[in-house]
Structure formats: C-alpha cells, structure tokens
A and B are shown apart, each in its own frame.
Chain A
Amino acid sequence: KAGVTQTPRYLIKTRGQQVTLSCSPISGHRSVSWYQQTPGQGLQFLFEYFSETQRNKGNFPGRFSGRQFSNSRSEMNVSTLELGDSALYLCASSSPTGVVSGELFFGEGSRLTVL
C-alpha cells in the first residue's frame, strides 16, 4: 500500500514569489492535514481538509491556503513568500472512514528554502 506522497521534495524560491505544494494521501484516506516544521517553532499545525472542506485551521496568516480535491489529493499554497517561510512542510492523511483519529500517516515532506 503506497504511503503519503508529497511533491516536490525540495524547492528553492525567492522572497515575494508564491509556491504550491502537493500531497497525495494513502488510498482511501479522506482527511489531509498540513504541518510546518522549523528549527525555531517545531511542528505546527496549518490546516486540515476532509471531503474537500477545510474543517480546522491553525494560527497562520492568510498567505497560507489550501484545498482538497474530490480524489482527496490536497495542495497548499503560500503567497508572497518571506524568509521565515523556509521550512519542512509535512502532509498527513488519516480516516478512511471519516472517524476522528490521532493516528496520522505523514509523508516525507517538502523542504522549502526562501532566499
């Protein structure tokens, strides 16, 4: 069974640009969550999507957005990039039945560097 797939794995952008990251969840999983990991702040929750609807959001500015498609694949977008957005962005999937569970399956992440 394939795991959570994130693309691209590495990318470099400059300040002011925007970036889109993609996440394909485990087949059958309907919930996709996004996390940001930095050395200073650790792992922080960005948002969660379930059945194409955002049902929870962390404390990040509006420059961070996401969406989920009918096949449960998800994308997140960061606009007007800042140096502080350099981080490992992790996607996690769960809930083949929609039941809430803390058992999340994480991808290997997309490492974004903003210059």
Chain B
Amino acid sequence: DAKTTQPPSMDCAEGRAANLPCNHSTISGNEYVYWYRQIHSQGPQYIIHGLKNNETNEMASLIITEDRKSSTLILPHATLRDTAVYYCIVRQERGGYNKLIFGAGTRLAVHP
C-alpha cells in the first residue's frame, strides 16, 4: 500500500472550512484513498473514501487531484467537535483483507 504524507497539525476557526491535505505520490491505479478521524479517547471513525472522482457525503468532501498524487479532505463548516486527529490512508481493494495502515495523521484543532 502506498505511503501518505500529512502535515502534523492544523488550526481552523469554528464555522470556517477545514481543508486537510494529503500527499500520496506513489499511489497506484487500483488504490483507494480513505479518510478516518479519531477524537480523543475514542476509536477511529470512517469519514469518506474515493478512487479518482471527487466524493461528498454528510460529513465531508474528498477532492482527489487528476493525477491522484494528492487529495484534500474538506470539512465545510468546522465545529469544535471536529477537533481530532485525521488519518489519510491509501488502500488496495484486494486480497480479501480489511487491513488499514495508519500513519501519524494531522491533528486538527478547531477554535472558537
């Protein structure tokens, strides 16, 4: 599975959009980009995933560049409850395995 690079920390004002970048320059054609977040002392929570098209759900939007070497998770109106560590994961849909390789993630702090 390809390696991802994320900034260690970011700040965002409440009510503003939070844009979390992720580089995955070695991604291959059959690898998906997944985003999870972990709020302090809780288990990780699935947010969204995509292959090459932009995706949107009730939690966030995922923008993947045309060359697929990077992506951005967008929280459109960040709230204090969005303060968490956000993990970008690249994963192949193969082999029958539900295995995720987590990196260090980005610690997002949403402030009033």
When the two chains form the complex, which single residue of B89, B91, B99, B101 contacts A48, counting CB atoms closer than 8 Å?
B99
Contact pattern, A 60-101, Cβ under 8 Å of B = 1, otherwise 0: 000000000000000000000000000000101011000011
In this complex, how many residues of chain B approach chain A with their Cβ under 8 Å: the count is 25
> Are A108 and B42 in touch, CB under 8 angstroms?
yes
Q: Determine if B97 and A102 form an interchain contact, defined as CB atoms under 8 angstroms apart.
A: no
Residues of chain B within 8 A of A94, CB atoms compared = 98
Binding site for A on B (CB under 8 A): 32, 34, 41-46, 49, 87, 89, 91, 93-105
Q: How many A residues have CB within 8 A of the partner chain?
A: 27
**Which of A45, A50, A100, A106 interacts with B101 by CB under 8 Å?**
A45
A90–B49 touching, CB < 8 Å: no
Contacts of A44 in B (CB 8 A): 102
Query: Smallest Cβ distance from A100 to chain B, in angstroms?
Result: 6
Alpha-carbon distance between A102 and B91 when the two chains are bound, in angstroms: 7
The interface residues of chain B lying within 8 Å CB-to-CB of A56 are 95, 97-99
A sample of 13 more A-B contacts (CB under 8 A), given A33-B98, A92-B43, is A31-B98, A33-B99, A43-B102, A44-B102, A45-B100, A45-B101, A50-B98, A90-B43, A102-B46, A102-B91, A103-B34, A104-B98, A105-B46
Instruction: Indicate if the CB atoms of A101 and B98 lie closer than 8 Å.
Output: yes
Complex contacts, B95 vs chain A, CB 8 Å: 56, 100
**Chain A residue contacts of B99, Cβ below 8 A:** 33, 45, 48, 56, 58
Interchain CB contact under 8 A, A100 and B89: no
